[in-house]
A and B are shown apart, each in its own frame.
Chain A
């Protein structure tokens, strides 16, 4: 059993598990942090960004000045943003049989895998994962395609050239694998390969293994997966949460008794407690709006935003913010808000019960009804007519490199009254802000990551007790910036196996058993013999029939009849002939009684020696040695076949045959 690790990002995993005869890809996350190295894509012509000076090497060489721009003391690539794909060279991805998706954030690389590698298998995911994943992809494609950029930079990627660049470009990894964003047709084609599944549904893969999605409590439709055969169980835990937010709670019980538990997608900010961060978010939002400033919240169109809107729904009246408009701007804003209300079966119990009242499960419906929350596909069109300040704007993309957020950064960045509040933990907020410096607007970092923290992991592992834990190497040591926090790492016994990008792990357990069925007729013919109380044995002569990874023992073919005629043998006659079997022996030889028997049969000079493994019976006169061990008996005599047979028969008298 092997695990191929294709991604180095612990929360955007992409691993391939080879188990029995199947090749299963677990998630295909897309590392978008590479986009931070690119200049933002402004929706409206930005004089500042269009007049940036080209970057010149120390020796005055200007050959890169078209590709790289100097912006606020940092160097950025002036091109369409590119993303870091999972490893494609480690194994032939066309051999992948199935892809299991755990949540909508972990499927963003799907079109690259299904459309560019010769993949012919099936993708399994829950319905909300697919629908919201589609929204995220649509938003991504839309944000990038609406600002066409002819230029594609590639010179800087040359290894020799990259060495000369300043950090962080110099240290960017795997730049050769960075790719431009996919297109909508590719998205549609990729999504068409997905087969929808429900929680606890058992899916057979070629009869060899069974896969089952379980609720992971992190997002709408998010799942952990169990991959099991008759005698082995592998759990894949990715992006799980034990907090009571909107999704169905995590199913922990089904993860018990795993041989291997692959653990990915823990919280990215283990020191920030989501509750505290939500409070912080509300505090800063209220403070800014009260002093007449605007609040910008760069976010994804689904996920935490639902919880934030719910908190604000409860908070705005008490904070006297009832008259402040909330704007949600995204090409998929409307669909996201509406989808969230229809996936009742995927929601937590409280929200599910609301549906039967009937009431919308999320209170943002009421915010929309009362005109407190308005949503627009983009800043163009209706939004510009309705726009009132001070206000709160939720919009993408959290990297601040594309999407409507770029416009608001240009618009509001110069005033210290405004505040940008980062809630998504995927990007370093300092790096995200780099091309906008100097920035007057206040900046608040309230990352809200509801995924498991290390305390919760430790409780989970105690509860489910897997034999082995496999996790990204980042989880096996404290964060580099807080090396004294030994509580911020996985602590379990035996210590977890860690992996890094482009590594192949041989998982530490061997398959020992396989289930074989016996046909009833064959079972009828067996005559078990009780060896010990409660243990019966029977010899089986049968034919093993294997099809679709299922094994069946069938009745053996009848012994070959002497040919009645000289006709050609029929096909069935080709079956191997079965020789009559010698009986099997069992039992132990009682040495004292055996010696007595020998003496009775005329061997007078019997001598017994004890050895480490048993006994040696020495017949001195006959120069013969009988070596009796637990599982074998040897008679060593000098070419005296009669004597050997005599002794053999004596030995056999003491053993049972069946």
Chain B
């Protein structure tokens, strides 16, 4: 603890001990505890207590108070716990009888203070901090605190209950880790007493008839198996496996979710990795006995588990496929499709019951669809998924939702009534349909998939969120339709789909709902980005009205839509020049030029940030990818863009503008062979200094450094950080120490460390550059391209970066500031109190 803090601490303790001086902001107390935690980890707790007697006095004082505030009692409990974590300090506190007065029976446990949840929570937290050595464990066992902890498991306050659960896990794992050396066996007397007490308690809870007790025990076990992967956990499992098995076989309705959590936590532990482990027998039973809604998450969890035996995986997959199988059979004849499951797993009465009841149908389907999607998105599938019947089933689900499926069974009729217009199921089914695109290669199916998707895109009743999902799924399927072999072999089919798709898109782009216009444009942007190389795709696109409408949407009243239109135009403009002009419609104007002008106009005049940000991102993409219009005169293009960005008040526009500058500078340096990359081609044989000179001239013409230095002084931290990063990179490429000697100081200070100094330096440099455009007198040197190198050399960019990386409140976070704050708040409170009288 530094001296200043040591000086401030006694008055702070006095304030805390004074019942009349209430601390209004208890976050101060939390911060104080955090500080003590850091302190006790760094130096000796005992020494700290001895050197700061005010702390012990504070505890004594609070213990003596007749009616202390619950906040302070809770604080003292936690503070004492932090100090008692060190064994020596624990002894010291025990000698002073602080521990028994606070955590024993004489403490708050038996007073009215215990009714307050914050006191109970403080007690639990204190105990948890304390349990770092055997003395603490012994203290708990002997003082009867363990029983208090068991009682608190069912505390009405959720904070307390969950803290107790964490505490028990901690005590159990700590006592076993620290005490045992030899392997344990079930009911072995070698189990430490404390651990035995806890496990017996768990066992009793599991066998009790109270659902809440069972749940508490299961939750506790879940945490134990989740955080501790020692061998003794295996013995623990054999101890409790039996009551858990009997829980499964009874009615696991209310405890189902907790059981699933337990099994998943165990399945993830390496201790139970072996396929012969009895855990998998229990998982098999759970998959069989739990209701499908509860078994779903377990099935997905075990499928993700690498160690899971194959038989359990197949059973888990069947659990996930069963609802989809019911859907499939409800609207298709058995001859048409074989079904998703083998004959052996046909007992689907429970699933059918859930699917035919309104409250559970949509929930079960959504969950199943989401699980299957997650499964399909895994990099390597652990089991073989029957893609085609699954695809059929998803399509039937989607058709049920828009009334196009014809049910062939009672369940089908029931489901069709429940699912009509159900957006939740539509969204999940569309996600899964999208995921299935990677696996389907059957062209016959693609046709019906597109038919279903286009029905959603065309349907007037599709909600904006459903439409968005439809666009996403369509995009994935289009990509697979446009795979090179498929694209040329089935061009006619692809063309028809694209034509119908663009018609639907066109309509959506005119939608009164801005979300729909926005999703349509986002979809178009993605489509063009991925398919713009295909000549036939371009032909269909440009024979539709989509490009024209996109241009119109640049004027949309909604700024998000304008931004998306900008992005879409950015992509379209890459290919406009590739489309043969129709003589009748050709008015002689250059379309690409018009787009550039239009986007520049948006960048400089649009009142909202989103479209401006979109423009600058498009410009950066153009620059990166070598857009025709950019290549015509890159310098002018960049100069115009960064000038517009320079005057912008939106920091995100500025950061995007800086990215453009970064790309430009990297490209320039690389073209001139100045880039750091060893493989960059040097095109000319000119010397380094000539090339350096040339690059600096280019940057000067574009006014790159004015822009970068301006941004460096920007009051928005991300802007300054980005500028600093770019300047550092440029400095590394361009600056050479010998230059300082050659150019002299140029009226600049020798070193610039602070932001204020930096601003002065940069302003001076800029004003010199502006006032002497002709290059005479003193200014001549400033105006010289090299003068900027002087500034680069002078400014301590590394130091600036370090300063900028720190968060803005780093000064206010110090412990002195915290202690001062506490004292200051009390002062204000007193004043206010005086005012009141």
Chain A residues in the interface with B (C-beta under 8 A)? 271-273, 276-280, 282-284, 286-287, 290-291, 311, 314-315, 317-320, 446, 482, 484-487
Produce 1/0 per residue, B477-511, CB < 8 A to A. Answer: 00000000000000000000000000000111011
Check: B557 CB closer than 8 A to any chain A CB: yes
Q: Is the CB of B420 within 8 A of A487?
A: yes
CB distance from B549 to the nearest CB of A (A): 7
Check: B512 CB closer than 8 A to any chain A CB: yes
Tell me, in angstroms, the Cα distance from A283 to B508 when the chains sit together: 7
For A270, the closest partner residue in chain B by CB is B403
Given A317-B557, A318-B512: A273 touches B507 (CB 8 Å cut-off): no
CB distance from A318 to the nearest CB of B (A): 5
Cβ contacts A to B, 5 pairs, < 8 Å: A273-B421, A280-B460, A282-B511, A284-B507, A487-B403
Given A311-B512, A318-B557: A484 touches B460 (CB 8 Å cut-off): no
Q: Is the CB of B416 within 8 A of A287?
A: no
CB distance from A609 to the nearest CB of B (A): 56
Tell me, in angstroms, the Cα distance from A315 to B545 when the chains sit together: 20
Tell me, in angstroms, the Cα distance from A314 to B555 when the chains sit together: 16
Check: B770 CB closer than 8 A to any chain A CB: no
CB distance from A418 to the nearest CB of B (A): 15
Please give 11 more A-B residue pairs, beta carbons under 8 A apart, in addition to A291-B545, A446-B460: A273-B460, A279-B460, A279-B513, A280-B460, A283-B507, A284-B510, A287-B510, A290-B552, A318-B512, A484-B406, A484-B407
For B405, the closest partner residue in chain A by CB is A484
- From B403, B406, B460, B545, name the one whose CB has the most chain A CB atoms within 10 angstroms: B460
Check: B459 CB closer than 8 A to any chain A CB: yes
Given A484-B406, A485-B416, A487-B420: A319 touches B460 (CB 8 Å cut-off): no
Check: B776 CB closer than 8 A to any chain A CB: no
Within 8 A of A (CB), among B390-425: 403, 405-407, 413, 416-417, 420-421
Tell me, in angstroms, the Cα distance from A320 to B555 when the chains sit together: 8
A291: B residues at CB distance < 8 A: 545
For B462, the closest partner residue in chain A by CB is A276
Chain B binding surface, main DSSP class: loop
Given A286-B510, A287-B510, A487-B417: A318 touches B460 (CB 8 Å cut-off): no
Tell me, in angstroms, the Cα distance from A166 to B413 when the chains sit together: 38
- From A273, A314, A482, A487, name the one whose CB has the most chain B CB atoms within 10 angstroms: A487
Q: Is the CB of B512 within 8 A of A273?
A: no
Tell me, in angstroms, the Cα distance from A277 to B511 when the chains sit together: 11
Q: Is the CB of B403 within 8 A of A482?
A: yes
A279: B residues at CB distance < 8 A: 460, 511-513, 516
Tell me, in angstroms, the Cα distance from A273 to B462 when the chains sit together: 10
CB distance from A551 to the nearest CB of B (A): 49
Tell me, in angstroms, the Cα distance from A283 to B462 when the chains sit together: 14
Q: Is the CB of B416 within 8 A of A283?
A: no
- Cβ contact of B510, chosen from A319, A482, A486, cutoff 8 A: A319
Chain B residues in the interface with A (C-beta under 8 A)? 403, 405-407, 413, 416-417, 420-421, 459-462, 506-508, 510-514, 516, 545, 548-549, 552, 555-558
A482: B residues at CB distance < 8 A: 403
Tell me, in angstroms, the Cα distance from A311 to B508 when the chains sit together: 17
Q: Is the CB of A484 within 8 A of B416?
A: yes
Tell me, in angstroms, the Cα distance from A269 to B477 when the chains sit together: 33
Tell me, in angstroms, the Cα distance from A446 to B462 when the chains sit together: 15
For A444, the closest partner residue in chain B by CB is B507
Q: Is the CB of A320 within 8 A of B403?
A: no
Shortest beta-carbon contacts, A-B, top 6: A276-B460, A286-B510, A276-B461, A280-B460, A283-B510, A487-B417
- From A276, A282, A314, A485, name the one whose CB has the most chain B CB atoms within 10 angstroms: A485
For A277, the closest partner residue in chain B by CB is B460
Tell me, in angstroms, the Cα distance from A280 to B406 when the chains sit together: 26
A311: B residues at CB distance < 8 A: 512
A271: B residues at CB distance < 8 A: 403
Given A276-B460, A318-B556, A484-B406: A287 touches B545 (CB 8 Å cut-off): yes
For A319, the closest partner residue in chain B by CB is B510
For A311, the closest partner residue in chain B by CB is B512
B462: A residues at CB distance < 8 A: 276
Tell me, in angstroms, the Cα distance from A337 to B407 when the chains sit together: 47
- Cβ contact of A314, chosen from B413, B416, B512, cutoff 8 A: B512
Q: Is the CB of A290 within 8 A of B460?
A: no
Tell me, in angstroms, the Cα distance from A446 to B458 when the chains sit together: 13
A290: B residues at CB distance < 8 A: 510, 545, 548-549, 552
- From A276, A279, A446, A486, name the one whose CB has the most chain B CB atoms within 10 angstroms: A279
- From B416, B461, B514, name the one whose CB has the most chain A CB atoms within 10 angstroms: B461
Q: Is the CB of B416 within 8 A of A273?
A: no
Q: Is the CB of A283 within 8 A of B511?
A: yes
Q: Is the CB of A276 within 8 A of B507?
A: no
Tell me, in angstroms, the Cα distance from A283 to B505 when the chains sit together: 11
CB distance from B510 to the nearest CB of A (A): 4
- From A276, A315, A317, A318, name the one whose CB has the most chain B CB atoms within 10 angstroms: A318
A446: B residues at CB distance < 8 A: 460
Given A290-B549, A485-B403, A487-B417: A273 touches B461 (CB 8 Å cut-off): yes
Tell me, in angstroms, the Cα distance from A109 to B406 when the chains sit together: 40
Tell me, in angstroms, the Cα distance from A486 to B419 when the chains sit together: 13
Tell me, in angstroms, the Cα distance from A93 to B301 when the chains sit together: 74
CB distance from A455 to the nearest CB of B (A): 8
A284: B residues at CB distance < 8 A: 507, 510
CB distance from B401 to the nearest CB of A (A): 12
B459: A residues at CB distance < 8 A: 276
Given A282-B511, A314-B512: A320 touches B407 (CB 8 Å cut-off): no
Q: Is the CB of A320 within 8 A of B552?
A: yes
Tell me, in angstroms, the Cα distance from A271 to B514 when the chains sit together: 24
Tell me, in angstroms, the Cα distance from A559 to B406 when the chains sit together: 80
B420: A residues at CB distance < 8 A: 487
Tell me, in angstroms, the Cα distance from A318 to B461 when the chains sit together: 21
Tell me, in angstroms, the Cα distance from A487 to B459 when the chains sit together: 19
B421: A residues at CB distance < 8 A: 273
- From B416, B459, B506, B510, name the one whose CB has the most chain A CB atoms within 10 angstroms: B510
Given A276-B460, A290-B545, A320-B552: A315 touches B416 (CB 8 Å cut-off): no
Given A290-B548, A314-B512: A486 touches B460 (CB 8 Å cut-off): no
A280: B residues at CB distance < 8 A: 460, 507
Tell me, in angstroms, the Cα distance from A319 to B507 when the chains sit together: 12
Tell me, in angstroms, the Cα distance from A460 to B739 when the chains sit together: 87
For B461, the closest partner residue in chain A by CB is A276
A320: B residues at CB distance < 8 A: 552, 555
CB distance from B802 to the nearest CB of A (A): 49
CB distance from A281 to the nearest CB of B (A): 9
Q: Is the CB of A282 within 8 A of B512?
A: yes
Q: Is the CB of B413 within 8 A of A486?
A: yes
CB distance from B25 to the nearest CB of A (A): 45
A484: B residues at CB distance < 8 A: 405-407, 413, 416
Q: Is the CB of A487 within 8 A of B460?
A: no
B555: A residues at CB distance < 8 A: 320
Q: Is the CB of B510 within 8 A of A282?
A: yes
Given A290-B549, A486-B417, A487-B417: A315 touches B403 (CB 8 Å cut-off): no
CB distance from A448 to the nearest CB of B (A): 11
Tell me, in angstroms, the Cα distance from A280 to B556 when the chains sit together: 19
CB distance from A70 to the nearest CB of B (A): 35
Tell me, in angstroms, the Cα distance from A278 to B403 when the chains sit together: 20
B552: A residues at CB distance < 8 A: 290, 320
CB distance from B59 to the nearest CB of A (A): 65
CB distance from A478 to the nearest CB of B (A): 10
Q: Is the CB of B403 within 8 A of A318?
A: no
Tell me, in angstroms, the Cα distance from A290 to B556 when the chains sit together: 14
Tell me, in angstroms, the Cα distance from A283 to B507 when the chains sit together: 5
For A314, the closest partner residue in chain B by CB is B512
For A321, the closest partner residue in chain B by CB is B510
Tell me, in angstroms, the Cα distance from A271 to B459 when the chains sit together: 11
CB distance from B515 to the nearest CB of A (A): 12
Q: Is the CB of A287 within 8 A of B558?
A: no
A277: B residues at CB distance < 8 A: 460
Q: Is the CB of A318 within 8 A of B558?
A: yes
